[in-house]
Amino acid sequence: MRDFWWFARRLLRRKREMTLLLLAASISAGGLGAGLLSLGPVLRIILEQGGSLRTLAEQWNARHAWPAVPAWGLEVLPESAYVGVVVIMAGLVVLTLIGASANFLHQLLSMGVSSRAAAMVRLEVFQHALHLPLATVMRQGPTEFTSRVLRDTGELRTGLETLTSKTLAQITKGAAAFLAALLFDWRLVLVALVAGPVLAVALRKTGKSIRRGSRGTLEASEVLLRTTNESLQGLRAVKTATAEHEALRRFNRANHEALRHEMRARVARSLSGPIVETLAVFAVVTLALIAARQILAGELPFDRFLLSLGSLAVAAGCMRPVAGFVNEMQAAQVPAKRLRELLSMGREDAADRGKPALQRHGQSIAFEAVSFRYPGSDRRAVDQATLRVNHGERVAVVGPNGCGKTTLLSLLTRLFEPESGCVTVDGVDIASIDVRSLRRQIGVVTQEAMLIKGTIEENVRFGLRGVERPQVEAALRRAHAWDFVQRMPGGMQAAVGEQGASLSGGQRQRLAIARAVLRDPAVLIMDEATSQIDAESEEQINEAIADFGSGRTVLVIAHRLSTVLACDRIAVMDGGRVIDTGRHDELLGRCEVYRRLAQAQLTGVA
């Protein structure tokens, strides 16, 4: 459970809460121990005729060198046996109330400290995931990281709460009862200790099975989450393709696999309780046989045997649930390991510490024989591509589907790192500068605009701080979005649905452009931003780009001829390479790939 304890040690950072938590657990357990010890005087008063608290105190003082009760205390103790019992019982009630209050405080503190610790881990893991290289996230899939951030941290919180709340409470109470049994008769306690190692071995064996089952359950849950997201987020496509049965079949298969792994751990979980109970019975039988010999030989008073056995029984009763709690913590080891694995993945900015910031772009951007291959692919997405773009130039990048257009421009933003060659901005290799200073100079508008559930203003501000409302309004105007925003109830405070579902495609794209405008970038990348919108929206977006793009370097990936013709120059890609550059008329005359593309687009327009 190395990984679980690695996270559990973080609880010690909250020193004040943990100190109060331990103090409350100790007070609660101390009440139990004191209650067990007080049963001795009660039994003696009842079994010995004429006994009283004062008599017992006088006998103790006579047998020991130091007096347990001073002379003035003896005068206060009652002489009546019944009154003595009443006093002891009243004391037990007080101890019970104090213990219950301490137990409440302990539970409250343990839940709070565990939840806060899990929330901090969740934040740390999410922050780390955000700074991972895009290639890492794509290779393993975003659903896996979502599952680790949400489900695994929830499982970890359960384990931490079990440790600080249930396990700590039962162990302190068991220790208090064990100490009471030790004071009554230490010989019986030594015999009871033999069962400890046997119990530990049994729990270790069952723990391994639980961890294996938990690992499979978490992995199967990722598949289940991915399947659910794919079907519900793409529900429009599922319905139009009448693929409900196929979606249900895939979900049922993933659901069955998750259930299979959950059932694997049930045998180990079910065995732990009976094992503990069986060991406890053997321990009690052994103790009873040993005690019987001592009682018959007159070496052990019967009342001390009963008190010692009773205290051990209470200790065993307190420790019995610990087996189940250990199982819960064993199960938390698996998500803890997965979380540590995520935290150990290298961040994309780890190598950028100490690198200089990039000065604002004002000369040129160059792709110099760059190559890139996606993990697991047998061919390069970009293969020795070379392209130079001057500052202020508007260049369209065109080519067949899958030729590497988006990947090439992703190398400029360092979403991917080239395996060979380099990308330079104003003659500076972007691998040698701080990645955040690079991305602050680049505005990107993609085919699917990423919008959050919030207001229009929140979506335009996304990623920026210290922006005033007039600046947001100005950005909306420059993006040709102000007219439709004004018509919406609430204007800039109008609510935007999840993934922009309440807006049309053209409206979403214009908000994305407004977000890019607000960043005041030196470079604007338009990745098929007009491919899925109507002609009117396309015209407005092209006007916005023409207005805002003046004096900036604009790189456009487009399939529509109208967008391509608005650019200063066209770069044609095929098979991951830049095979030609020039203007529309020039390329029509000499580039067969461009000619085919232009003819297909002209047909589409017609």
Residues 308 and 396 in one domain: no
Asked if 510 and 541 touch (Cβ cutoff 8 Å), the reply is yes
Tokens of 379: 């061919």
Q: What is the mean pLDDT of residues 296-303?
A: 65
pLDDT at 189 over 70: no
Does the residue 260 lie in any domain?
no
Last residue of a domain, one of 286, 311, 344: 344
Tokens of 440: 């602050």
Q: What is the mean pLDDT of residues 503-508?
A: 83
Write down the pLDDT at residue 605: 43
Residue type, 97: L
| CATH number, residue 375 | 3.40.50.300
pTM above 0.85, yes or no: no
Residues 462 and 589 in one domain: yes
Residues 493 and 555 in one domain: yes
Write down the pLDDT at residue 604: 45
Write down the pLDDT at residue 606: 35
Q: What is the mean pLDDT of residues 184-190?
A: 64
Q: How far lies 280's CA from each of 170, 178, 190, 246, 320, in Å?
A: 16, 14, 14, 53, 9
Residues 326 and 447 in one domain: no
Considering only 47-51, 251-255, 319-323, which range has the smallest mean pLDDT? 47-51
Cβ neighbours for 12, distance < 8 A, ≥ 6 positions apart:
18
- Provide the H-helix boundaries in 440-559: 456-461, 469-478, 482-487, 505-518, 535-548
Tokens of 369: 């024989």
Write down the pLDDT at residue 200: 57
Residues 336 and 381 in one domain: no
pLDDT at 489 over 70: yes
Q: What is the mean pLDDT of residues 216-221?
A: 74
Write down the pLDDT at residue 175: 75
Sign, CA dihedral 558-561-565-568, equals: positive
Does the residue 241 lie in any domain?
no
Considering only 73-82, 110-119, 442-451, which range has the smallest mean pLDDT? 73-82
Sign, CA dihedral 172-174-176-178, equals: negative
Does the residue 358 lie in any domain?
no
Considering only 218-232, 358-372, 516-530, which range has the smallest mean pLDDT? 218-232
Does the residue 181 lie in any domain?
yes
Does the residue 554 lie in any domain?
yes
Residues 340 and 371 in one domain: no
Asked if 527 and 489 touch (Cβ cutoff 8 Å), the reply is no
Radius of gyration of the chain (CA): 37
What span, in angstroms and rounded, lies between the C-alpha atoms of 206 and 175?
24
Does the residue 246 lie in any domain?
no
Residues 283 and 388 in one domain: no
Residues 506 and 458 in one domain: yes
Higher pLDDT: 108 or 538? It is: 108
- Tens-digit pLDDT profile for residues 423-457: 999 999 999 999 889 988 998 888 777 888 888 88
422 pLDDT tier (thresholds 50, 70, 90): very high
Among 500, 564, 499, residue whose Cα is nearest residue 526:
564
Q: What is the mean pLDDT of residues 361-384?
A: 91
Q: How many domains does the chain have?
A: 2
Residues 381 and 488 in one domain: yes
Residues 149 and 284 in one domain: yes
- Tens-digit pLDDT profile for residues 120-166: 998 898 988 888 888 888 888 888 888 888 888 988 988 888 888 88
| CATH number, residue 107 | 1.20.1560.10
Q: How far lies 336's CA from each of 158, 342, 343, 484, 559, in Å?
A: 11, 10, 11, 48, 47
Residues 273 and 372 in one domain: no
Range of the domain at 78: 2-211+268-344
Does the residue 238 lie in any domain?
no
Does the residue 219 lie in any domain?
no
Residues 150 and 206 in one domain: yes
Among 602, 534, 600, 605, residue whose Cα is nearest residue 399:
600
Residue type, 8: A
Mean pLDDT of the chain: 79
